Structure 1
Amino acid sequence: MKALNHAVSLGMAKDIRFETPLMWIDKAETWALADYYGKLDLVRNETLTCYNGIKGDGCGHCAACNYAPTV
């Protein structure tokens, strides 16, 4: 991220900074955060975690889908 921030800032001749607040939390923590803010349905239905590109419940076979908590 630091390298990307630096490269883009140089290329644009402007101070540009990319923020990645979820980068350091795992999938379980992401689901817990969504639950805390009452957004489980949004995360479950409108985001992509399946490695095979299937939104919502996913494929059910890849490593990402097998790790997903059931709601």
Structure 2
Amino acid sequence: MTSSEPLDLAGLFADGPIERVAAKYRFGEEPSEVELWSRFSAEQRLAALIALRARHLMWKYGIEPRLERVLAITRQA
């Protein structure tokens, strides 16, 4: 990350404010998803991904995102 200030993640979870955005396009002239997301910085795209993941985990499993525990199983030769 090239930002000198830390990324603010406070507004990403369900209790944070949601910015309302609307755009009108003619049918068949809508911009592609790639074009829409390319307008955002890498930090904004990452923040959106974190927010979507947190909302999905809360909806699907009723839990808040935390650090995952990984168990590696190895066989001895």
TM (norm. structure 2) is 0.24
User: Which one has more relative contact order, counting CA pairs under 8 Å at least 6 apart?
Assistant: 2
Relative to its length, the structure with more helix (as a share) is 1
TM (norm. structure 1) is 0.25
